[in-house]
Amino acid sequence: MASTPEFWRPHHGAATRPDTLLVIDDDAISCRLIRAIFEKEGVRVVAAGDGQAGIERAAEERPDVVLLDLQLPGRDGLEILADLKASTPDLPVIMLTASHDPRIVVRAMKAGAADYATKPVDDEELVVVVRRTLETRALRKEVEQLRRHVGRDRAAGLEARMGPSAQVASLVQQVDTVAESDFTVLVLGETGTGKELVAQAVHQASARRSKALVALDCGAIPEPLLESELFGHERGAFTGAERRKEGRLRLAEGGTCLLDELGNLPATLQAKLLRVLESRQLQPVGAEHARPMDVRFIGATNDDLQARVSRGMFRADLYFRLAQYTITLPPLRRRPDDIPFLAHRFLDEASVELRRPVDTIVPDALELLVRHPWPGNVRELRNVIRQAVLHTTDLAIRAEVIRPVLTASEPAAAIEPAPASAASLKGVAEQAARAAERRTICDMLRVTKGNKSEAARTLRTDYKTLHLKMKALGIRAADFTA
């Protein structure tokens, strides 16, 4: 045999744990030769004389690489290779073969072998093959670690958008925990708490981030159109279906579908969505056959879905299928440490967009913000800061500007308070959020003199959403045109 090459070095992990090489070969002489080659290079060598013993040693020793003889007593090497790859898919297996038939090598490579070497063993050739295999495995591990770090960085990006509180740090940890799985995630929280931000973070930290995150607001689309919007339809499927349309689920293929306001999903569509989740098959409206689908689902709602289940308004089986992992967002009033951070962030945004050089919030104004209950959560805080920037004539937002924005009573007076006997915490919160939205819209329409398009742009929403909100709250643009 030739002398052992000088370039062999165990990979960088050998400083703490030597690489382990498992040899599965019934030729005792061959095993001794391989042990002699690699042990003096710092590689730990263990051996097994048949396939079953090799499988057991692999489970015990967790080797870094396996040398597997193709010809073994009882079961051949390809069968053992299949078992090894089934139990540990990332374990590199190098086939040892005395045959020079290329068809055998091709079969081994198709079955998952990382490489092959010929017998009788040539130490130089074998060292090159094993070294290359270990380096490839080490590189793959580094890439996977980098991907995990990138995922954690993307999840941690929530802190840059939501704040530095312990509650947000907990959200980051939850996103990091679930992102790399394909678990269906249910994101719960009051209106305006940032459910869509969390859904985006889960998608961006997952292996699906290179594909689309497609969102569907289940409460913004009329029920007759919702099925087509979600599942798609074929041409002629119903009156007006003049051409084929891909649904949101098909557009999310390979990526993630966010079903927002999930509690508004009609009962008929709940059953169809459950079938899709269980079968992973998608059948557009009017299609004869279903097609395979690869989509991760995230549901988001401010409803108490468990209460809706108990009242028969939401399917229990769909709820449990969606709630494989649940993330509950705390309301802003329980995150006081985030309020100054968010207020200054929204101040920077509003100052640029509204072209007003306001650059600070004085301490007494900031104290008012921290003490406010924020029934509308982060969305309400953003609107308050934007209005304060509009109304201030100074370079700083002061308490005398913030106070009337927070306590304006004229629009709120249009909504009658619920009787104390009928009040509930959820009802009070919903009523307060409704009052805050009405007040904000009225203030903005007053500034824009009833121009709904300009008001929608300033409030960073679309015209249709503003129109629907105004209709629901009984607000008329004509009342602000004077």
| Whether 348 and 432 share a structural domain | yes
| Domain termination site, one of 279, 308, 330 | 330
pLDDT tens for 415-465 read 444 444 444 666 667 777 888 888 888 888 888 888 888 888 888 888 888
Average pLDDT score, the chain: 84
Domain assignment of residue 154, yes or no = no
In a domain, 158, yes or no: no
**CB within 8 A of 442, min separation 6: which ones?**
410, 411, 475, 480
DSSP 219-255: TTS-HHHHHHHHHEE-TTSSTT--S-EE-HHHHTTTS
Are 200 and 247 in contact by the 8 Å Cβ rule? The answer is: no
CA 309 to chain CA centroid, Å, is 26
Same domain, yes or no: 471 and 357: yes
Kindly state whether residues 282 and 182 are assigned to the same domain: yes
Q: Which residue did the predictor score with more confidence, 146 or 281?
A: 281
CB half-sphere exposure, 164, CA atoms < 13 A? 6
Residue 4 in any domain: the answer is no
Q: Give the mean pLDDT of 322-336.
A: 94
Mean pLDDT of 82-105: 83
**By mean pLDDT, which of 67-76, 116-125, 354-363, 471-480 is the weakest?**
471-480
Confidence bin at 16 (pLDDT 50/70/90): low
Produce one character per residue of 65-104: b if its CB has 16 or more CB atoms within 10 Å, e if not: bbbbbbebeeeebbebbeebbeeeeebbbbbbbeeeeeeb
Predicted pLDDT at 425: 66
Query: Do residue 220 and residue 324 come from a single domain?
Result: yes
Q: What's the confidence (pLDDT) of residue 409? A: 29
Say which CATH number the domain at 241 has: 3.40.50.300
State residue 122's pLDDT score: 79
Return the structure tokens found at 232.
Answer: 């798609």
Residue 151 lies in a domain: no
Residues 205, 156: Cα–Cα separation, whole Å: 9
List of residues 6+ apart from 364 with CB closer than 8 A: 398, 399
Mode of pairing for the β-strands spanning 296-301 and 291-292: unpaired
Instruction: Residue 322: give the domain boundaries.
Output: 163-330
For tokens 């159109």, the residue is 225
179 and 275 part of one domain? yes
Tokens of 441: 């819209």
**What's the rounded mean pLDDT across residues 206-231?**
88
Q: Contact at 8 Å (CB) between 260 and 312?
A: no
**Is the confidence at residue 34, as pLDDT, over 80?**
yes
Q: Is 293 left (phi over 0), alpha (psi -120 to 50) or beta?
A: beta
Provide, rounded to the nearest whole percent, the portion of the chain with pLDDT above 90: 37
**Is residue 88 predicted with pLDDT exceeding 90?**
no
Q: Which residue has the higher pLDDT, 467 or 101?
A: 467
Residue 214 is predicted with a pLDDT of 94
pLDDT at 458: 85
What is the pLDDT at residue 321? Answer: 94
Give a yes or no: residue 152 inside a domain. no
Say whether pLDDT at 343 is over 70.
yes
pLDDT digits (tens, 9 = 90+) for 365-401: 999 999 999 988 999 999 999 999 998 888 899 999 9
In-domain check, residue 414 = yes
Q: Is 184 in the same domain as 300?
A: yes
In tens, the pLDDT along 225-244 reads: 888 889 988 888 788 778 88
Instruction: Using the predicted structure, report yes or no on whether residue 11 has a pLDDT greater than 50.
Output: no
| pLDDT for the residue numbered 408 | 59
Whether 299 and 384 share a structural domain: no
Examine the domain organization and report whether 344 and 317 are in the same domain: no
Residues 21 and 46: beta-carbon distance below 8 Å: yes
- Say whether both 461 and 357 belong to one domain: yes
Chain segment 252-300, per-residue pLDDT in tens: 999 999 999 898 888 889 999 999 999 999 988 888 888 899 999 999 9
| Residue 4, pLDDT score | 41
Quickly count: other Cβ atoms within 10 Å of residue 47's Cβ.
19
Cβ-count burial 356-391 (b if 16+ within 10 Å, e if not): eebeebeeebbebbeebebbbbbbbbbbbbbbbbbb
Domain boundary among 275, 299, 330: 330
Percent of the chain topping pLDDT 70? 88
Among the three residues 142, 171, 206, which one is the final residue of a domain in this structure? 142
* pTM for this entry: 0.57
**Separation CA 438–CA 434 (nearest Å):** 6
Q: Is the pLDDT of residue 198 over 90?
A: yes
Number of neighbours of residue 328 by Cβ within 10 angstroms: 12
Q: Are residues 281 and 399 in the same domain?
A: no
CATH number (domain holding residue 452): 1.10.8.60
The alpha carbon torsion through 233, 235, 236, 241 (nearest 10 deg) reads: 70
Report yes or no: 72 and 53 within 8 Å, Cβ to Cβ: no
SS (H, E, C) 76-135: CHHHHHHHHHHHCCCCCEEEEECCCCHHHHHHHHHCCCCEEEECCCCHHHHHHHHHHHHH
Q: Are residues 311 and 366 in the same domain?
A: no
Q: Is the bond into 419 cis (omega within 30 degrees of 0)?
A: no
Relative to beta strand 325-328, strand 185-188 is parallel
What backbone torsions phi and psi does residue 95 show, to the nearest 5 degrees?
A: -85, 135
Question: Is residue 149, in this structure, part of any structural domain at all?
Answer: no
Task: Band the pLDDT of 2: cuts 50, 70, 90.
Answer: very low
Based on the domain organization, do 27 and 131 belong to the same domain?
yes
CA distances from 372 to 249, 378, 415 (A): 40, 12, 20
Please state, as a whole number, how many other Cβ atoms lie within 10 Å of the Cβ of residue 255. 18
Residue 168 · residue 129 · CB < 8 Å:
no
Question: Considering its fold, how many domains does the chain have in total?
Answer: 3
CATH number at residue 70: 3.40.50.2300
- Any domain includes 427: yes
| Top-confidence range, 29-38, 145-154, 217-226, 407-416 | 29-38
Q: Which residues contact 445 (CB under 8 A, 6 or more apart)?
A: 451, 452, 455, 475, 477, 479, 480
Mean pLDDT of 2-24: 59
